[in-house]
Amino acid sequence: MSPILLEMKGIAKRFDGVPALDGIDLAIRSGECIGLCGENGAGKSTLMKVLSAVYPHGSWDGEILFDGRPLRARSVRETEAAGIIIIHQELMLVPELSVAENIFLGNEPTLPGGRLDYPAMNRRAEDILRELKLPDVNVVLPVKNYGGGHQQLIEIGKALNKQARLLILDEPSASLTAAEIEVLLEIVRDLKARGVACVYISHKLEEVAAICDTIVVIRDGKHIATTPMREMNVDRIIAQMCGRELNQLYPSLPHTVGEVVMEARHITCRDPDQPRRKKVDDVSFEVRRGEILGIAGLVGAGRTELVTAIFGAYDGPSEGEVWLEGARVDTSSPLKAIRAGFALVPEDRKQHGIVRDLSVGQNITLSVLERFSSLSRIDDSRESREVDTQIRRMGLKTASPALPITALSGGNQQKAVLAKMLLTQPKVLILDEPTRGVDVGAKFEIYKLMLELAAQGIAIIMVSSELAEVLGVSDRVLVMGEGKLRGNFVNQGLTQEMVLAAAIGQGNQHG
């Protein structure tokens, strides 16, 4: 067995007196991949931020040994110099900078005289992107030109550019497709073979099972178990995470699908930079009262563009009509769309979902403040009652609604965004990747909530890259590919293979 590279002993961390980590031990060998598992809010990201000195030495208790020597780093710069590289759960890219500039951010190569060596930077960035199987990304274009999945791979590229001895991947695959995840796992295997140690955090447990040698489960900031993967399987990981067996991944609740509520007609979205290129090409569909409509497709298929255009949030030229309950409605801005009866929970919560400077409670009531205000005075007690109700309903884990939203774990931020949109009492609820970064137990709760809302007659449109989830909860499934609608299936006897075949433009289009 290779030697122990890193040891964390008795790590404890509090936020304003509330314990987030309570005496955690962790040891990693070179070339070993540890799967760090736990429910939303268990403390996974916090533990990794302690390790990488996002929380500097002195702001937590316990001890870290690296190469057998105490590591008392005061900054991420120091841990990086030691070879500890972290890929954060929330993307850290600078949207306006180019892909290459992002990959080299903080360690740009310079020419004699101090100017940046752009040719070298771009060449190396291109090599990295080839390794990530992203050859068609142009390294000189701003990162913001690329969608969530690509951005996530670029973030990974940034880490590959550094000399890692220990690589921490905190939810690296949340917005990747199955094929992209394969590329990622291949890269991790390759790093392992070269002796790099990895900590892999993901709520996609099949992935964890496929890549990790050892599973460490934490719950409520405490260490629960460390087990070799060969003695584990996904069900056992789940049982350790939740402290109970979870015998069902998808809830069932009868709900009747009624008449057509919403119709999208001939929606076309153009690339803001190249208006001749269509990201969505003449897509029409309808959704019925009480129906859950899943939209599947590969990343770049135009799903997010389609739903943001319907909601008036697409930032580029778009055409088409939106009809609600038999009348054409104006959804040319999100505000108009919300007034008309639409709600959208966006894919990228960091950019569009949350307001970082506000508290959990303020974020939740943001979309309906007018309801709590009479003559510009806000009725605080009604507002806080409503917030408490939502927090309970969603099982949202927060020490207090007054905490800044950014203090919540990733999955709990997602629940806050969902709560915010539900308060608007929409007729059509659009969810773009609603369970991204959400743990298995909380996923079940979100599906249950979707089914309850459908049973109340709300039409739900769910964009999701997790095919199992699309098939697990949808009444009907639309499949998009290259901006076009390639399939419209009733979800009976529908298989992942049929959806995939439609997505890549083969097979029977309608079922």
Ligand X SMILES: Nc1ncnc2c1ncn2[C@@H]1O[C@H](COP(=O)(O)OP(=O)(O)OP(=O)(O)O)[C@@H](O)[C@H]1O
Nearer to ligand X, 356 or 510 (CB): 356
Question: For 144, which DSSP code?
Answer: G
- Residue from the set 31, 43, 147, 157 that interacts with ligand X by CB under 6 A: 43
Q: Which stretch binds Mg ion (CB under 5 A): 19-27, 61-69, 246-254, 409-417?
A: 409-417
Minimal distance, residue 36 CB to ligand X, in Å: 8
Minimal distance, residue 350 CB to Mg ion, in Å: 13
- The 438-457 site mask, x for binding ligand X (CB under 6 A), equals -x------------------
Report which of 212, 231, 249 is spatially closest to residue 37, judged by C-alpha positions: 212
Q: Which stretch binds Mg ion (CB under 5 A): 6-14, 23-31, 213-221, 407-415?
A: 407-415
Q: Which stretch binds Mg ion (CB under 5 A): 12-20, 376-384, 410-418, 422-430?
A: 410-418
Nearer to Mg ion, 37 or 296 (CB): 37
Tell me phi and psi for residue 262, to 5 degrees: -130, 140
Asked if residue 300 lies in contact with residue 360, where contact means CB atoms within 8 angstroms, the answer is no
Residues 396, 13: Cα–Cα separation, whole Å: 21
- Residue from the set 10, 15, 332, 388 that interacts with ligand X by CB under 6 A: 15
Nearer to ligand X, 220 or 286 (CB): 220
CA dihedral angle for residue 300, residue 301, residue 307, residue 310, rounded to 10 degrees: 110
Nearer to Mg ion, 45 or 398 (CB): 45
Nearer to Mg ion, 149 or 410 (CB): 410
- Residues numbered 326 to 345 that lie near Mg ion (CB under 5 A) are none
Checking DSSP bridges between strand 428-432 and strand 484-490, what pairing results, if any?
unpaired
- The 8-47 site mask, x for binding Mg ion (CB under 5 A), equals -------------------------------------x--
CA 339 to chain centre: 27
- Residue from the set 35, 290, 353, 410 that interacts with Mg ion by CB under 5 A: 410
Q: Which stretch binds ligand X (CB under 6 A): 43-51, 65-73, 226-234, 474-482?
A: 43-51
Nearer to Mg ion, 45 or 177 (CB): 45
Asked if residue 112 lies in contact with residue 95, where contact means CB atoms within 8 angstroms, the answer is no
Q: Which two tokens stand for residue 309?
A: 């255009």
Number of residues that bind ligand X (CB under 6 A): 22
Report which of 292, 259, 341 is spatially closest to residue 463, judged by C-alpha positions: 292
- Residues numbered 371 to 430 that lie near ligand X (CB under 6 A) are 397-398, 403, 407-412
Angle at 467 between CA 252 and CA 33, to 5 degrees: 110
Angle at 430 between CA 427 and CA 434, to 5 degrees: 135
Q: Which stretch binds ligand X (CB under 6 A): 41-49, 266-274, 356-364, 486-494?
A: 41-49
Asked if residue 488 lies in contact with residue 478, where contact means CB atoms within 8 angstroms, the answer is yes
- Residue from the set 5, 6, 11, 20 that interacts with ligand X by CB under 6 A: 20
Tell me phi and psi for residue 98, to 5 degrees: -70, 165
Minimal distance, residue 133 CB to Mg ion, in Å: 26
Angle at 131 between CA 127 and CA 132, to 5 degrees: 115
Under the phi-then-psi rule, with left for phi > 0, alpha for psi from -120 to 50, and beta for the rest, what region is 159? alpha
Asked if residue 232 lies in contact with residue 209, where contact means CB atoms within 8 angstroms, the answer is yes
Nearer to ligand X, 329 or 403 (CB): 403
Nearer to ligand X, 199 or 280 (CB): 199
Minimal distance, residue 45 CB to Mg ion, in Å: 3
Where would I find the beta strands (DSSP E) of 30-154?
33-37, 61-66, 69-70, 84-87
3-state class of 483 per DSSP? Answer: coil
Q: How many residues does the chain have?
A: 511
Nearer to Mg ion, 46 or 268 (CB): 46
* DSSP assignment string, 215-282: EEEEETTEEEEEEEGGG--HHHHHHHHHSS----SS--------SEEEEEEEEEEE-SS-TTSEEEEE
Asked if 44 touches ligand X (CB under 6 A), the answer is: yes
- Residue from the set 24, 42, 86, 467 that interacts with ligand X by CB under 6 A: 42
- Residues numbered 57 to 116 that lie near Mg ion (CB under 5 A) are 89
Report which of 475, 463, 104, 405 is spatially closest to residue 257, judged by C-alpha positions: 475
Nearer to ligand X, 316 or 404 (CB): 404
Minimal distance, residue 221 CB to Mg ion, in Å: 13
Asked if residue 215 lies in contact with residue 226, where contact means CB atoms within 8 angstroms, the answer is yes
Number of residues that bind Mg ion (CB under 5 A): 3
Nearer to ligand X, 150 or 349 (CB): 349
- Residue from the set 30, 52, 79, 89 that interacts with ligand X by CB under 6 A: 89
Residues 374, 187: Cα–Cα separation, whole Å: 57
Asked if 202 touches ligand X (CB under 6 A), the answer is: no
- Residue from the set 45, 98, 359, 363 that interacts with ligand X by CB under 6 A: 45
Q: Which does 397 bind (CB under 5 to 8 A by kind): ligand X, Mg ion, none?
A: ligand X
Residues within the interface to Mg ion (CB under 5 A): 45, 89, 410
Residues within the interface to ligand X (CB under 6 A): 15, 20, 38, 40-46, 89, 397-398, 403, 407-412, 437, 439
